[in-house]
Structure 1
Amino acid sequence: MTGLTYRDAGVDIDAGDALVERIKPLAARTMRPEVLAGIGGFGALFALGGRYRDPVLVSGTDGVGTKLKLAFAWGMHDGVGQDLVAMSVNDILVQGAEPLFFLDYFACGKLDVEVAARVVGGIARGCELAGCALIGGETAEMPDMYPEGEYDLAGFAVGAVEREAILDGSRIAAGDVLLGLASSGAHSNGYSLVRRVLAKAGHGVDAARDAELVLDGKPLREALMKPTRIYVRSILALLRELPEAVKGLAHITGGGLRENVPRILPEPLAAHIDLGSWPRPALFRWLQEQGEVAEAEMTRVFNCGIGMVLVVAPEKAGAAEGLLRAQGETVYRIGEVVPRVGDEPQARIVGSPA
Structure 2
Amino acid sequence: MLIQEVILENFMSYEYARVPFKPGVNVICGPNGSGKSSLLLAISVALGQSYTERSRKLSDLIRWGKDRARVTLILDNTRKGKRRPVPKINKDQIFLTRVLRRDGKYWFELENRAATKKDVERLLARLGVDPDNMLIIMHQNMVEQFTLLSPQEKLRMVEAAVGLEPYRRNVLQAQKKLTRILSQEESINKLLESAEQTLNYWREQYERYQEKKQLLTKRRFLERELAWAEVAKRENIVKRLEAERRKKKDLLNEIEIETKVAAEHLQLGQGELEKLKSEWKRLFDERLSLEREKAKSESTISIYKQLLEETTTLEREIRSGNPSAQTSGLTENVERQ
Name which structure has the greater RCO, CA cutoff 8 Å, separation 6+.
1
Higher radius of gyration, 1 or 2: 2
What is the TM-score with the length of structure 2 in the denominator? Answer: 0.21
Bigger share in helix = 2
What is the TM-score with the length of structure 1 in the denominator? Answer: 0.21
